[in-house]
Amino acid sequence: QSALLVSALASSPASGAAVMATFALASTAGLLLAQRLWSGLRRSGAGERLAGWPVRAAGALLAGASLFALWQGLGAALCAVG
């Protein structure tokens, strides 16, 4: 979705296509690197020990983003009142 948003802000259709292609290449590289890293961890046996932390980290990030959104909404409501 972010690739679509940024490409929509490009000045021409060709620029938008170039932006989307850049996003695709960067995503491909990141996904391939993550796959190799995870495969290496699984082969070494460390994957079992480390399997739970990504879920916990994602939960913490989600909670943090929710708190930030609530804080911003509270600030906007207080500014509208005052």
Side chain identity at residue 66, one-letter code: S
Q: Strand, helix or coil at 45?
A: coil
pLDDT recorded at residue 47: 64
In this prediction the pTM is 0.45
The string of pLDDT tens digits covering residues 19-30 is 889 888 989 999
Side chain identity at residue 55, one-letter code: V
The string of pLDDT tens digits covering residues 30-40 is 999 988 987 88
Q: How far apart are CA 81 and CA 73, in angstroms?
A: 12
Buried b (16+ CB within 10 A) or exposed e, 11-32: eeeeebeebeeeeeeeeeeeee
Both tokens of 13, joined, read 């259709």
**Binning pLDDT at 50, 70 and 90, where does residue 65 land?**
very high
